[in-house]
Chain A
């Protein structure tokens, strides 16, 4: 058996040394496999760890792919001095495209253009896909079979959220009738 303190240490160490965010299941079947543990109990341990790190420079956060330790957001600008390259800045156009995909996914390029009122630049779509934030999840069964885009877990992880609904503006699903009309319009105008 393992005592409470050792358990916390083990979970902490496992998350710190993992190469990617760690899920509860991964912890249970991994480092904790030999100890009779269950999810509620592990949750408690993680809650305690989060509490322990509350005031520290590093925090335990839960993102879409699981738990990870990351530096406090306020420290970003100061920490950035440790590296020569500047942090990437994303244009309003890119962020709007991303927000649109997150909100109405799976969505076609034509639908994005209809709402934003501008043609979506190929460069933006390329950047979003290269970053692994957006991927093609299928094709819409309309003339031209336009690609349907969706956001990924990597996108959620990057923006430190667990789900799109964590972005209040995007939490409300688009009105269905609105959407239908949009789709019709897109298919009629034969986008893509």
Chain B
């Protein structure tokens, strides 16, 4: 983009003079070079050129640079004439593309006409220079154009570089890690576990507290104090279901071992319990 002119155009326009023109063309406002005056460009070459220019500012900068001029010395008459000739050719080739170029042509024509008018007396010369606005724009555009060029020179993804990456199985590790849990959820889960522990602990303690074997001893103890007891008297209701069950198991166990006797006068009547030993020999009881 730096040198938009195709070689054919350059050859026709500037020819060999371009190569040895270094000492020429630097005279302020008046380039010594006469050759750029001609402007025959083959239509095909022009089309290529027009595509190379990104807009009227680009074309204008090209024309100025071709004259080896400083933007600040903008030779408006010369440039305007050349610019118009290009635009004329453009209109013949690509009408729609010329629209933006025509706006610039109008601006150049306006500046030119103002320059041709006699100068009004003024103190501030810079403010009055009709070219100032265009020069400012050209300078800004030059920055942007150069910026675009430098940007294009930067390494670009998929064109110059590709992002490198490595495979890892770290993700599977990450997935195995427990997901983030809020403190509330965590304490809820903990309370559930605690409940479970409580239930288990409770159960075990009951077993300890309500050992069937121990209950058997206590029943036997009671029976040793009074010969005959009502079945119901052997239960301590304050112990709850578990206590009742343990007592019942103890009674069954004692009965099985022949250590007590269960008696019932008739169906549905009260059951009475008495120690076996009083009735018969312990040896007999166990043997039975």
Q: Which residues of A contact B (CB under 8 A)?
A: 13, 16-19, 58, 68-76, 79-80, 87-93, 95-96, 98-100, 102-103, 114-119, 157-161, 167-170, 172, 174, 178, 181-182
Q: Within the complex, what minimum Cβ distance (angstroms) separates A56 from chain B?
A: 10
B156 at the interface (CB under 8 A from A): yes
State in angstroms the CA–CA spacing of A118 and B97 once bound together.
Answer: 10
Check if B136 sits within 8 Å of A90, measured CB to CB. Answer: no
The listed residue with most B CB atoms (<10 A of its CB), out of A19, A72, A76, is A76
A19, A116, A158, A167: the one within 8 Å of B57 (CB): A116
Check if A99 sits within 8 Å of B144, measured CB to CB. Answer: yes
- B153-169 residues with Cβ-Cβ distance < 8 A to A are 154-168
State in angstroms the CA–CA spacing of A116 and B152 once bound together.
Answer: 17
Q: A99-B144, A178-B140 are in contact. Are A13 and B55 (CB under 8 A)?
A: no
Instruction: Report B-chain residues with C-beta under 8 Å of the C-beta of A168.
Output: 150
Count the B residues whose beta carbon is within 8 Å of the partner chain — how many? 41
Instruction: Report B-chain residues with C-beta under 8 Å of the C-beta of A100.
Output: 144, 147
Q: Within the complex, what minimum Cβ distance (angstroms) separates A28 from chain B?
A: 18
- B38-73 residues with Cβ-Cβ distance < 8 A to A are 52, 54-58, 60
B205 at the interface (CB under 8 A from A): no
Check if B143 sits within 8 Å of A103, measured CB to CB. Answer: yes
Q: Within the complex, what minimum Cβ distance (angstroms) separates A37 from chain B?
A: 19
Instruction: Report B-chain residues with C-beta under 8 Å of the C-beta of A73.
Output: 155, 160-161
Closest residue on chain B to residue A113 by CB atoms: B100
Check if B144 sits within 8 Å of A115, measured CB to CB. Answer: yes
Check if B144 sits within 8 Å of A13, measured CB to CB. Answer: no
Closest residue on chain A to residue B162 by CB atoms: A71
Check if A70 sits within 8 Å of B140, measured CB to CB. Answer: no
Instruction: Report A-chain residues with C-beta under 8 Å of the C-beta of B55.
Output: 93, 116-118
Main secondary structure of the interface of B (DSSP, over half): helix
Instruction: Report A-chain residues with C-beta under 8 Å of the C-beta of B287.
Output: none
Check if B155 sits within 8 Å of A69, measured CB to CB. Answer: no
State in angstroms the CA–CA spacing of A85 and B82 once bound together.
Answer: 42
State in angstroms the CA–CA spacing of A161 and B155 once bound together.
Answer: 9
State in angstroms the CA–CA spacing of A79 and B146 once bound together.
Answer: 28
Q: A88-B159, A117-B57, A167-B147 are in contact. Are A161 and B154 (CB under 8 A)?
A: yes
Task: Give the top 4 A-B pairs by smallest Cβ distance, nearest first.
Answer: A99-B147, A76-B160, A73-B155, A16-B166
Task: Using A87-B159, A99-B147 as known contacts, list a sample of 20 further A-B pairs with CB atoms less than 8 Å apart, ordered by residue number in A.
Answer: A16-B168, A17-B166, A18-B165, A68-B163, A70-B164, A73-B161, A76-B161, A76-B162, A80-B158, A90-B152, A95-B151, A102-B147, A103-B143, A103-B147, A114-B137, A115-B137, A115-B140, A117-B104, A160-B161, A178-B136
Instruction: Report A-chain residues with C-beta under 8 Å of the C-beta of B161.
Output: 70-73, 75-76, 160
